[in-house]
Chain A
């Protein structure tokens, strides 16, 4: 039977991907950011999953305003890195796990989550930057990836509570899959940041610290945070943090924090990274 062994969260800042792609990780500005992921890179080499369910948001790459799915699950064999206006990132093609992805889609839909099934989807920095941070620059990604895209661009995004419950449905689905797979769930995006308008550059270290604490110890409190509080306290793009709750909902309530990293800034954003292991 498949099982969820661990979860992690990480920011997915595009400039971090560019720093990796352009060989700038040892520059003074970037060095502390990448140092914060050294533990995670060792950890994942020791606890290599077979499949990562990677919760992220598309940034007007695969989905324009023509079609805006709230929860979209990638069921394809593979996913190409998207051209986001600069040409695609020079990273490997992402290999999916269609059998598990379809199983999760069916299980979640019968559990009353109206998932959008996607068979063709280019994946942008939201998905590829976390892979680069944890796996570096391999010829091929060492894991299969099931992309789970959450709309946080067009309001309203799903509530934190809905994201949490989707995580629970994903756990139930994974645990009813016959193959003996080790599965991780990654929640990406955040932490506090604002990219738009005169308030751009907004950062709230106190909010971020409370969110990181709550993620491990009291996720039920985070689940209740309304959208307006994310925008007010974590900046307009801080709303991405609802995606971390999918990860947390998929893990055991007693999950143990094994690593935490926080750094300001990477470009416009507060970097947050946490690793939780299931008991």
Chain B
């Protein structure tokens, strides 16, 4: 079992949503899930901190949400499909979230995708010599 989980750790820039992450992020992800309802989206937009207090998340998770720091949310157990509901509430596309997570302007990210995306070379393994 451990060998199964360990094998993914060599892949750069990637967090696999395994049991550890799922337990860590349960309440963060369930907060995101609440944004499936329009009335909750409105309540969140009206008072973000107040709304987040309804969920038994850690302060670090709440701050990462307020900061819209998606990589931090992922490291704290967030799953991208859940986190995307925050992006949708903000009116942003997946591509916009991707630009935030990769730290490049959205136009640059979009141009990278049009040019064929992030290549496998140098991005398969943390020990890849092309990195």
Q: Do A and B come together as binding partners? A: yes
For residues 79 through 123 of chain A, which have their beta carbon under 8 Å from a beta carbon of chain B?
Answer: 82-87
- Given A60-B32, A153-B79, A198-B101, do A270 and B117 touch, yes or no (CB 8 Å)? yes
Determine whether the beta carbon of A267 is less than 8 Å from that of B116: no
- The answer to whether the Cβ of A20 comes within 8 Å of any Cβ in the partner chain is no
Query: Hey, what's the 0/1 contact readout for B1-42 against A, CB within 8 Å counting as 1?
Result: 000110110111111111100100010011011011110010
- Within 8 Å by CB of B117, from A14, A84, A203, A233, lies A203
- How many Å from the CB of A56 to the closest CB on chain B? 13
Determine whether the beta carbon of A197 is less than 8 Å from that of B13: yes
CB contacts (< 8 Å) of A192 on chain B: these are 117
Determine whether the beta carbon of A85 is less than 8 Å from that of B41: yes
CB contacts (< 8 Å) of A64 on chain B: these are 29-30, 33, 82
- Within 8 Å by CB of A201, from B26, B89, B112, lies B112
- How many Å from the CB of B30 to the closest CB on chain A? 6
Determine whether the beta carbon of A204 is less than 8 Å from that of B120: yes
CB contacts (< 8 Å) of A202 on chain B: these are 117-118, 120, 123
21 A-B residue pairs with CB within 8 Å:
A61-B36, A65-B26, A85-B87, A85-B88, A192-B117, A194-B118, A195-B84, A196-B14, A197-B13, A199-B13, A199-B14, A201-B112, A201-B113, A203-B113, A204-B120, A228-B4, A228-B11, A231-B8, A232-B10, A264-B116, A267-B94
The interface on chain B, measured as residues whose beta carbon lies within 8 A of the other chain's beta carbons, has a size of 56
Query: How far is B116's CA from A91's CA once the two chains are assembled, in angstroms?
Result: 31
- Within 8 Å by CB of A200, from B10, B19, B98, lies B98
- How many Å from the CB of A197 to the closest CB on chain B? 5
Residues of A within 8 A of B (CB): 14-15, 59-61, 64-66, 82-87, 153-156, 192, 194-207, 226-228, 231-233, 236, 264-265, 267-268, 270
CB contacts (< 8 Å) of B32 on chain A: these are 60
- How many Å from the CB of A182 to the closest CB on chain B? 33
- Within 8 Å by CB of B33, from A60, A196, A203, A204, lies A60
- Within 8 Å by CB of B102, from A82, A201, A231, lies A201
- Within 8 Å by CB of B101, from A84, A87, A200, A226, lies A200
Query: How far is B49's CA from A186's CA once the two chains are assembled, in angstroms?
Result: 43
- The answer to whether the Cβ of B76 comes within 8 Å of any Cβ in the partner chain is no
Determine whether the beta carbon of B98 is less than 8 Å from that of A232: no
- How many Å from the CB of B3 to the closest CB on chain A? 10
Determine whether the beta carbon of B11 is less than 8 Å from that of A232: yes
